[in-house]
Amino acid sequence: MQETFFFQAMIYLAAAVVMVPVAKRLGLGSVLGYLVAGVIIGPAGLKFIGMEGQDIMHFAEFGVVMMLFVIGLELEPSRLWRLRKSIAGLGGLQVGITTVVVTGIAMLFQIGWKEALALGMIVAMSSTAIVMQTLDEKGWLKTVAGQSSFAVLLFQDLAIIPMLAIFPLLADHVGAADGHGAGSTSLVNALPAWQQAVVVLLSVAGIVVTGKYLLRPVFRVMARTGMREMFTATALLLVVGIAVLMTSVGLSPALGAFVAGVVLANSEYRHELESSIDPFKGLLLGLFFISVGSSIDFPLVASKPAVIIGLVAGLMILKMVILFVLGKIFGVRNAQNFIFSIGLSQIGEFAFVLLSFSVQEGVLGKELTDTMTAVVAISMAMTPLAMMVNEKWILTRFCLVSAGLQVQQRLSDVEEQDNPVIIAGYGHFGNTIGRFLRANGVEATVLDNDSDNVDFLRRMGQKVYFGDATRYELLDIAGAGRAQVIIIAISDEEKRLELIETVKKHFPNLHMLVRSSNRNDAYDLMNAGMMHIYRETFDTSLRLGVDALKLLGHRAHEATRMAKTFFVHDERTLKHLSSIRNDEEYIHAARKHIEELELIMQADREAVHLNALAGWDRRAEVESA
């Protein structure tokens, strides 16, 4: 058995290692590489794996759960509230209209209304895994197309719950599952309907309360151990535990993971959680895509190619048209609308769950289910190709784009801007810089590896994230690819040099402003190629802040004047705070001084602006005279 397991693991990994780089080199994207790898090693290719691919697919679907957890981490509750109209409106209309249209078409082909309704709900689903992975690779997640796609996919994930409740009502006869189907795994099936609803609500409430109040102390303890693997193990335990809880009460584990992610989106451990989960998410999603490729029943396709290819093309075009019209109604522009409608035109992975459930409940016959399984798998495999055709041909020819522009430059409808500054290390040196920038209206993404310091600063109302900034994946998640300046204020000299090398290798366009402990440390930093070095004193930390403002476009004399104002106020504050010994009193006083300083500097900026306007008025009077 061990040999079989290791052989299978070797085959899957080898197929991914060979095919994904080839697909990326050809400009096809990693998803298509995984799908082709599955076809090659599957029953239709080299036959290294057999029909157990379906079982592996169910395991690999956990990658979708992890992906929704990571998406939730990136989506603060306030942002989710802003998307409510798109989620309920655009997503609800897409699911409803697609279900109704497909049901009507199926009934025209003499299919009973119950089976037709089941098919309509199955076809309404799109692939969260393929769409989100493809959009992420192309950097389109924060475009209008990306946000609209996310809203529709989220509503579809929510719609799975009532669909699973409706399917048993459509059955005309007892299914073949013998009570071992998906529905029987729930511990609440035997309860009355109202009790089931109470259990479901309590489960979701439990996730929210646990995420908000109990998980931060747990993560803080894990962070204090200094063992990264323990933090990773805790993150995995969280996601697996949520999946088990949601499955046991009959809910989608992906929905539970998403809720937990949203609850933790404001947590200081958000970036570290994301970077810990990300490698496992990527591997499991890759395994899922390989399983989809290997599960395509090519003998069935060969036996009736016209029917299956016609169904794939017809259903994808139908969904594309519905999505494009809805996009127009909701004000999505042409270029974005093509990405949105073509990206969601496939039938998604949850269709496999609904098809399996429909057989177990006796809703659909086996022949129809086998045909639709092939249609779903092929439509998913066709999506990366359709996206590539859209990017290389449709967008460039039909969206009135200048010939020399790149597609990524055209998709400029970004809904949310990233912070222009990253501060790595938030001790006394980095904290001074961060407060100075914030007082001047410049927001920064702050990373610190000291969990106690992060907790203390959070209690003072400052938004600081726990994480090791020397890790490439953490910097990438924190927005280093889009920021303008990184301020390296880490106290550890070796860590500073390690971070410098990481930034030079992966983010060469990022301006680095680096803290130096002493003269010898400055020598090391100069040898590493650093130009902006600041030996740590209060004055030099302010000077670094001034230079950061100038790099961001502020006038030199204004930035210098602001630094002097900041210095005077901070000196006065220092004398006051030095006399306070009680922690809670100190926190209250410090927060009050921070707010006071921001008001002072805001008033100073406004006064300068008014003086400038008055100067223009006087000049106009002189010229008219």
* 369 & 276 share domain: yes
Domain CATH number, residue 563: 3.40.50.720
* 484 & 533 share domain: yes
> Would you say residue 154 has pLDDT above 70?
yes
Higher per-residue confidence, 59 vs 502: 502
Q: Give domain status of residue 403, yes or no.
A: no
Among 232, 516, 173, 189, smallest CA distance to 358 is for 173
Beta bridge partners of 486: 422, 512
Identify the weakest region by mean pLDDT among 12-26, 59-73, 216-230.
59-73
Q: Give domain status of residue 406, yes or no.
A: no
DSSP string computed for 381-403: HHHHHHHHHIIIIIHHHHS---T
Beta bridge partners of 485: 421, 511
Q: Give domain status of residue 404, yes or no.
A: no
* 189 & 81 share domain: yes
Are 471 and 275 in contact, with CB atoms under 8 Å apart?
A: yes
Among 461, 465, 463, 462, smallest CA distance to 451 is for 465
* 128 & 54 share domain: yes
Q: Which of 398, 431, 458 is the last residue of a domain?
A: 398
Higher per-residue confidence, 213 vs 96: 96
> Would you say residue 209 has pLDDT above 70?
yes
Based on the structure, what is the number of domains in the chain?
2
The whole-angstrom distance between residue 6's C-alpha and the CA centroid of its chain comes to 32
Determine what percent of the chain is predicted with pLDDT higher than 90.
Answer: 14
DSSP 265: G
CA dihedral 143, 147, 150, 151 (to 10 degrees): -160
* 186 & 262 share domain: yes
Q: Give domain status of residue 101, yes or no.
A: yes
Q: Give domain status of residue 111, yes or no.
A: yes
> How large is the angle between the packed helices 2-25 and 30-41, nearest 10 degrees?
140
> How large is the angle between the packed helices 62-73 and 53-60, nearest 10 degrees?
20
- In angstroms, the CA 583 to CA 604 distance is 31
Higher per-residue confidence, 330 vs 282: 330
> Would you say residue 560 has pLDDT above 80?
yes
* 312 & 448 share domain: no
* 394 & 449 share domain: no
* 120 & 217 share domain: yes
> Would you say residue 322 has pLDDT above 90?
yes
For 583, residues 6+ apart whose C-beta sits below 8 A from its C-beta are none
For residue 603, the enclosing domain spans: 421-622
447-460 pLDDT per residue, tens = 888 777 787 777 77
- In angstroms, the CA 32 to CA 36 distance is 6
Higher per-residue confidence, 97 vs 434: 97
* 372 & 464 share domain: no
Beta bridge partners of 465: 447
DSSP 44: T
Domain CATH number, residue 30: 1.20.1530.20
Q: Give domain status of residue 407, yes or no.
A: no
98-124 pLDDT per residue, tens = 999 999 999 998 888 999 999 999 999
* 492 & 390 share domain: no
The dihedral built from the CA positions of residue 305, 391, 99 and 256, taken in this order, carries a sign that is positive
> How large is the angle between the packed helices 350-360 and 366-389, nearest 10 degrees?
170
The dihedral built from the CA positions of residue 300, 304, 309 and 310, taken in this order, carries a sign that is negative
Length of the chain: 625
Q: Give domain status of residue 405, yes or no.
A: no
> Would you say residue 362 has pLDDT above 60?
yes
Q: Which of 364, 398, 432 is the last residue of a domain?
A: 398
The dihedral built from the CA positions of residue 379, 381, 382 and 383, taken in this order, carries a sign that is positive
pLDDT band, residue 53 (cuts 50/70/90):
low
Q: Which of 398, 430, 451 is the last residue of a domain?
A: 398
For 168, residues 6+ apart whose C-beta sits below 8 A from its C-beta are 183, 361
Among 289, 323, 348, smallest CA distance to 163 is for 348
The reported pLDDT for the residue numbered 189 is 65
What the block records as the tokens of 13 is: 């990994």
* 72 & 216 share domain: yes
Residue type at 172 in one-letter notation: D
State the average pLDDT over residues 121-150: 84
Among 316, 334, 255, 303, smallest CA distance to 67 is for 255
Higher per-residue confidence, 28 vs 463: 463
382-421 pLDDT per residue, tens = 888 888 888 777 766 654 433 333 333 333 332 334 789 9
Beta bridge partners of 516: 535
> How large is the angle between the packed helices 366-389 and 270-295, nearest 10 degrees?
120
The whole-angstrom distance between residue 622's C-alpha and the CA centroid of its chain comes to 57
Q: Give domain status of residue 321, yes or no.
A: yes
Beta bridge partners of 424: 447, 488
> Would you say residue 182 has pLDDT above 50?
no
State the average pLDDT over residues 231-239: 86
527-544 pLDDT per residue, tens = 888 888 887 777 778 888
* 510 & 455 share domain: yes
DSSP string computed for 136-172: HHTT-TTSHHHHHHHHHHHHHHHHHHHHHHHGGGG-S
> Would you say residue 594 has pLDDT above 80?
yes
The reported pLDDT for the residue numbered 614 is 54
Are 117 and 162 in contact, with CB atoms under 8 Å apart?
A: no
> What are the Cα distances from residue 473, in Å, to 274, 335, 469?
9, 30, 9
Helix (H) / strand (E) containing 372: helix 366-389
Identify the weakest region by mean pLDDT among 244-258, 320-334, 557-571, 591-605.
244-258
> How large is the angle between the packed helices 350-360 and 113-124, nearest 10 degrees?
160
